[in-house]
């Protein structure tokens, strides 16, 4: 059975994800903005944990030294996260969205990526409530 910390962690992560998506939706759907271009950052939310998850499956964690597979996964994840922050700025500079919508989307990005990081910190260990058993 799951421990009390894991249940609290799930609640906090769920709340963080909901708040982040709320900021993204506000940046798209408010009547003064009314442009749905920022929804393309959803692809980055889905893609960001994939390289690290693949690397964790392929790499043996007994090696204390860093290896190339994990370094490549961290590099790719960083590129995806930076792209997610850059896309709304490019949209705002191209006048596809307004700067207020860009600020809301960047706030949502910060919350969502902090939530994804929190997920890996809470469920990344090999305890009895590990994410690997899902």
Structural domain count, the chain: 1
Residue 38's domain comprises 4-133
Least confident interval from 4-8, 13-17, 52-56, 77-81: 4-8
The pTM for the full model equals 0.83
User: What is the model's pLDDT at position 64?
Assistant: 54
State yes or no: pLDDT of 134 exceeds 60: no
Band of pLDDT at residue 46, cut at 50, 70 and 90:
very high
Would you state the structure tokens that stand for residue 43, as one six-digit string?
């692809």
Would you state the structure tokens that stand for residue 134, as one six-digit string?
């899902």
50: nearest Cα among 74, 71, 66, 83: 74
User: What is the model's pLDDT at position 70?
Assistant: 87
Q: Is the CB of residue 23 less than 8 Å from the CB of residue 102?
A: no
State yes or no: pLDDT of 57 exceeds 90: no
């Amino acid at each position: 059975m799951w421990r009390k910390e894991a249940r609290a962690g799930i609640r906090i992560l769920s709340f963080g994800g909901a708040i982040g998506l709320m900021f993204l939706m506000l940046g798209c759907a408010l009547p003064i903005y009314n442009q749905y271009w920022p929804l393309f950052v959803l692809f980055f939310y889905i893609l960001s944990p994939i390289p690290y998850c693949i690397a964790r499956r392929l790499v043996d964690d007994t090696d204390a030294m860093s290896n190339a597979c994990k370094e490549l996964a961290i590099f790719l994840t960083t590129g995806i996260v930076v792209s997610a922050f850059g896309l709304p700025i490019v949209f705002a500079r191209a006048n596809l969205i307004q700067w207020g919508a860009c600020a809301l989307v960047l706030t949502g990005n910060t919350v969502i990526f902090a939530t994804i990081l929190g997920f890996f910190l809470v469920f990344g260990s090999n305890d009895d409530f590990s994410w690997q058993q899902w």
